[in-house]
Amino acid sequence: MPSLLQRYLLRQFFFATLNTVLLFVFVLIAGNAMKDILPLLASGKIEWSFFFDTMLHLIPSMVAYSLPLGILTATLLVLGRLSSQNELIAMKASGLSLWYIIAPLLLLASLSTIFTLLVNFHWGPHSIVYYRKALGNLIRQKPLSFIQEGTFVKDFPGYLFYIEKKHENAVENCWLWELDNRQESGVNLFLHSQQGVLRYDEKKNAIVLTLLKGSGEKYNGSIDGQAVSFESTDIALPLTTMLGKEHFHKKVGYMTLSELRRERKKAETIPHPPLRERSKILLQLEIQKNAVMSFAVLSLVLIAIPLGMKLSRAETSANIVLAIGLALSFYFIVMAISWLESVPQYRPDFLVWLPHLLFQGLAIYLFRRALRH
């Protein structure tokens, strides 16, 4: 039965972890939203319901990165405050050992590690797959919503156009430029039409803009254009350039543990030995990397405990900066070893555990110093 002091410490660590994890989840989700979703929302191409739905489904995949960083920051914050207010000295003076004091934190770190394993091997992959599929399917659900009236549309490489009014599929007063940097004028073709029609070509995965009874200019390597007129002309605007391919392809990094194991079993049947070994190492590396990122919670907490006691700082900013520095160092080493996937003979699936050896070795050294003092 935990004592009153241990329950107090557990509450301190738990709520500090919860607050920091929520902060980092918000920062990571905001970064993804600004890159992928907010531009579409601001231009009216998606609705608020779609925005909130995709953001909520993105949370589990962000927890995998936020939880190790959050509990690391919470450890430095709480221990730094206890140390700066001499509460740790009072506990030690009362005869309490260091292990007794940090037992609630180790319990919280162990539970967080188990939770992160579930996230990395199950919930996280489902989360990111839903997010990517939702963005890809957005094209097929409302393809014509990507064309806005009263604004210059620059989303389609090689084209710039302006539509004054749009009524469902019909458009009015449309101006279109086909861009070409090789031309002296920077434009290969200019077209203008008072009327037009928009439609979605599913086979080509493109929006087709049909201009009716219009005129324009054709440039043939000079600034002066040659006048053209037409009864009807079609301009195909491929959607794959905006949100990727029409059909979502699940990468290795988006697979659950059961899917990775199934793919590894398939890789064993590849007849070409070098390709077979490389495929197996790649899949084993992904499995090991997910495990490494999960156990990062324990390694980062173990190194943060003696540092938090030693720093004796209650300043939030100093502790957060230190936490981010430690986490980024850990993640960078994992990423650097992952780059060795092209040279399977170095066994990156084993080397990826190197950050744990380094951080836990440093933690043991710092713990010995803390116990002596």
For the segment 161-213, what is each residue's pLDDT rounded down to a tens digit? 888 888 878 888 998 888 887 766 678 888 999 999 888 887 777 888 899 98
Q: State the pLDDT confidence band at 18, using cuts at 50, 70 and 90.
A: very high
Residue 244 clears pLDDT 50, i.e. is over it: no
Count CB-CB contacts under 10 A for residue 99. Answer: 10
Encoded tokens for 347: 């066994």
Q: What is the pLDDT of residue 147?
A: 75
In this prediction, residue 30 carries a pLDDT of 85
- Rounding to the nearest 10 degrees, give the CA dihedral for residues 359, 365, 370, 372: 170
Domain parsing of the chain, residue ranges: 4-141+251-372, 157-237
Vertex 109: Cα angle to 94 and 333 (nearest 5): 120
User: From CA 178, how far away is CA 190, in angstroms rounded?
Assistant: 6
| Confidence (pLDDT) at 136 | 67
Tell me which residue of 300, 351, 350 sits closest to 327, measured CA to CA.
300
Residue with tokens 């919930």: 123
Identify the pLDDT of residue 246. Answer: 47
